[in-house]
Chains A and B, each alone.
Chain A
Amino acid sequence: MTAILEVRGLVKVFPGVTALAGVDLDVEAGEVHCLVGQNGAGKSTLIKCVSGATPPTAGTIRLLGHDLVAGRPGAALSAGVATMYQELDLVPDLSVSANIFLGHERRIGPLLARRAMRRDATELLARLGHATLDPDAQVAELRPADRQLVSMARALSRDVRLLIMDEPSAILDPPEVDALFAVVRRLTAAGVGVIYISHRLDEIARIGDRITVLRDGKTVASNLPATTSPEQLVQRMIGRSFSEVFPERSDPHGDVVLQVRRLARRPDLAETSFEVRSGEILGVGGLVGAGRTELLRAIAGLDPVDGGEVLVAGRVVPRGRPDLAVAAGIGVAPEERKSQGLWLDWDQVHNVTICDLPRLGRGPFTDAAAEHRAAAAQLRSLAVRPDDPLRLASELSGGNQQKVVLARWLLHASAVLLLDEPTRGVDVGAKADVYRVIAELAARGLAIVMVSSELAELVGFCDRILVMREGAVVAELRGGRATEEMILRHALRAEPPPEPPPESPRASP
């Protein structure tokens, strides 16, 4: 066998975060190489580097024995790398054949050779076992599984040597998965190397040849046989390297502050009910796309809901009115801190006081001195660095930006805080600081709901944990007693869990 891809010591540093800290990966011709790891372990960054979408900070990528020119998607493409991204990158308004040949259209002189493309598209689809798909159909009108096929046909329309598939089975039914696997085998038989990323660990034994495990941006295991059991894989994915020090927390639990009753937003969120007490930190775990962010947004009135209600301190919060949710005491720290949480070219003071201008001003006027005083007090209590309230939000580190968002809700005397991945994009060192602040807020009596993809964070920090999968809460675990493995099992539906509550067998979603 010949090596198609050799990745050595790959490092990728984003401002403030190290996404890859030394990754090695080998893919040989004709093999299906499975790549596994938790959310944020660096899988997506790795494939972006290999496909040329992002230049790595350090390290080498050799493709068929040649160094890949960094940061040029065109170079990777012509070297034979094709990528099927998780978010399908098709143009919905174009036809199937137009999408397949997008960027390398067949031409006669300056004109498009539509008939040739249609014929070749049909042939490609036939190779994938789906000759019936109409090459003139609009992609917008296709079912998700068919779109997947188009995406794959597009990958194959070039001379592909390495095919990267990012969670190709996530949206497929079992028979469709079987068809997909058949196609993958046909490709490998023809000598194509495949990188296969999946959260469905049970699939790996069926399709994979070897497994590489990523954790915290490093390769922690490579060359594992595909027969490695899901338990062992989960062990390696979690690792024992988490050394964050979670602050000591007393047993909380005052009155119920937040009540969520049968809240639903189909198809993203099935009917969900739970309560959170004053001083409690409720963790919400699950994979990306399991409906966790949708849950927070529904509670905060940011997205319309199908039904259900939200109560704060016993009072119903009117639906679909974020302003009234804020007035009722619900504060949100969104995952997309920079694009949804902050005004980056405002100073910290204005970022903190935006919800409290009526209180801090006189009549319709704002009062700069009062704002500065109020904001500075909150910012200091959270130890935002640097200690300069006039510093622009864009100039702060991720952890300090998060604190600015928290300071806003603290100043507003919110009763409920909804935190979406509060330590995402925060350096390991600064994470402990963010934990300390959140613990302090809980100690002050806030009810906190915290969505997190970091299992250690859920287990080590939260009083209770809800695990979501496919839009529904599938398990509720006690913080002290839960293990990372239990959460991952529920989130992945790897095995029927030994503990509560048993779920439906592995059927179609």
Chain B
Amino acid sequence: MTLDALRRMKVQELALPLVVVLLVVIGAVLKGTIFFSTANLWNVLLQASVAGTVAVGMTFVIATGGIDLAVGSVLAAAAIVGGHYFHGAGSAWFMAGTILAGAAAGAINGIAVAWLRIVPFVATLAMLAAARGIAQQISHQTPVGLYDLEALTRIGSQRVLGIPIPAIVFLVVVALGALVLNGTRYGRYVVAVGGNREAARIAGIRVRPIVFSVYVLVGVCTGIASVLQTGQLASASPVVGLGLELDAIAAVVIGGTSLAGGRCTMLGTFFGVLTFALIFNLLTLENVESQVQQILRGVIILGAVAVQRRGH
């Protein structure tokens, strides 16, 4: 039985944790105590928290065979909407407004994809353009200072039991995402729709509401990530989130979720996020320039996806 279960595991389910362990070992050898300090390890998670939180929602979208390219712009727009309209009402209202703005953008994407039957790539590409424009328009291209929102800045800067709060939020979101994806009826329907849309229809699953919902879900995750980001910056900026979609999608795909839909793993996404964060943490510690890191990012994504395709 256990042997059977092992046999059924996909290659990358085993490979990715190994990669993470390997990276930690490399880090320990190269940088010794600097890398291996708890502070640095939590920092890795802190740096991963924004893209990681988005990647959780992205896993659901990709599980249905869709994609959301707009998350970076929506991250900025949500922060600006929150900062501009809910600033005066306090931290709680700011967070609610920001998350709601993310959800609203997701809902528009969801309607476009599910009911207007626009290809996800195109629908979210349009949102990518529009949301960035909204962010710039509302903010007049200037960041909104949020230093006075104490609770918010505390989220960005403080630690609980030594763990940065954004890292905790990310871990909680991942855990919830895994529970919903693997342990609920909704999660099963998401995978069912992504795996075989016609079979899902024949089995009486209402396909369009499911498709709609995953875009709202990634919108909510993006809103949460936006709160984490503004907390760390203590301001809402219209230019944050550039390239965020790449980080989120790359983590999901490297984690083993199939872009074709129907095959997904939240644990894989988690390890995918960790892998990326560790690699760039190491590169930064090694003083590798950020342009070079950017090039490596592309190479890693290409290589990882090529390896993943061979596994199928």
Contact check, B184 vs A340: say whether CB atoms are below 8 A apart: no
User: In the complex, which residues 190-239 of chain B have their Cβ closer than 8 Å to any Cβ of chain A?
Assistant: 192, 195-196, 198-206
Is A322 within 8 A of B201, CB to CB? yes
Q: What is the CA–CA distance of A392 and B263 in the complex, to the nearest angstrom?
A: 14
Q: Across the interface, do A354 and B195 meet the contact criterion of CB distance under 8 Å?
A: no
Determine the residue in chain A with the shortest Cβ distance to B185.
A357
Most chain B beta-carbon contacts within 10 A, residue among A300, A322, A361 = A322
Complex Cα–Cα for A402 and B57 (A): 35
Residue B4 at the A interface, CB < 8 A? yes
Main secondary structure of the interface of B (DSSP, over half): helix
Chain B residues, Cβ within 8 Å of A150 = none
B192, B198, B206: the one contacting A354 at CB < 8 Å is B192
A360 smallest CB distance to B (angstroms): 9
A124 to chain B, nearest CB (A): 38
| A323 & B205 in contact (Cβ 8 Å cutoff) | yes
B122 to chain A, nearest CB (A): 20
Q: How many angstroms between the C-alpha atoms of A366 and B190 in the bound complex?
A: 14
A358 contacts B by Cβ under 8 Å: yes
Minimum distance in angstroms from A329 CB to a CB of chain B: 11
Interface string of A319-359 (1 = CB under 8 A from B): 00011111100001010000111111110001000110110
Contact: A339 with B185, CB < 8 Å?
Answer: no
A340 CA to B192 CA in the complex, in Å?
12
Q: Taking A343-B196, A390-B4 as contacts, is the C-beta distance between A300 and B202 under 8 angstroms?
A: yes
In the complex, whether B186 has a CB less than 8 A from a CB of chain A is yes
* Contacting residues, chain A, for B187 (C-beta < 8 A): 366
Given that A340-B198, A343-B196, A345-B263 are known contacts, is A408 also in contact with B203, CB under 8 Å in the complex?
Answer: yes
Closest residue of chain A to B258 (Cβ to Cβ) is A345
Q: Kindly identify, within residues 18 to 72 of chain B, every residue whose CB is under 8 Å from any CB belonging to chain A.
A: none
Interface size class of A (residues with CB under 8 A): 20 to 34
Q: Which residues of B contact A339 (CB under 8 A)?
A: 196, 198-199
In the complex, B83 has a CB within 8 A of chain A: no
The reply to whether A302 and B201 form a contact with Cβ atoms under 8 Å apart is yes
The answer, yes or no, to whether A365 is at the interface (CB within 8 Å) is: yes
A354-B183 contact given A343-B192, A343-B262, CB 8 Å threshold: no
Q: In the complex, which residues of chain B have a beta carbon less than 8 angstroms from the beta carbon of A300?
A: 202
On chain B, the number of residues with a Cβ less than 8 Å from chain A's Cβ atoms is 23
* A267 at interface by CB-CB < 8 Å: no
Contact (Cβ within 8 A) B184 A343: no
Neighbouring B residues of A390 by C-beta, 8 Å: 4
User: In the complex, which of the residues B195, B199, B262 contacts A341, with contact meaning CB atoms closer than 8 Å?
Assistant: B199
Using CB atoms, name the residue of chain B closest to A343: B195
A110 to B192, CA, bound (A): 48
Instruction: Judge whether A366 and B199 touch: CB under 8 Å.
Output: no
**Distance in angstroms between the alpha carbons of A300 and B205 in the assembled complex:** 13
A364 at the B interface (CB under 8 A): yes
Contact of B188 among A302, A327, A350, A392 (CB under 8 A): A350
Cα distance A180–B184 when bound, in Å? Answer: 60
Q: A323-B205, A326-B204, A365-B183 are in contact. Are A342 and B199 (CB under 8 A)?
A: yes
Residue of A nearest to B183 (CB): A365
Which of chain A's residues has its CB closest to B200's CB? A354
Asked if A354 contacts B205 (CB within 8 A), the reply is: yes
Q: Could you name 21 residue pairs across A and B whose Cβ atoms are closer than 8 Å?
A: A300-B202, A322-B204, A323-B205, A326-B203, A334-B202, A339-B196, A339-B198, A340-B198, A341-B199, A343-B195, A343-B262, A345-B195, A350-B188, A354-B188, A355-B203, A355-B204, A365-B183, A366-B185, A366-B188, A390-B4, A408-B203
The 10 closest A-B pairs by CB, nearest first: A326-B204, A323-B204, A357-B185, A340-B198, A343-B195, A364-B184, A354-B203, A323-B206, A332-B202, A322-B201
Q: Which residues of A are interface residues toward B (Cβ below 8 A)?
A: 300, 302, 322-327, 332, 334, 339-346, 350, 354-355, 357-358, 361, 364-366, 390, 392, 408
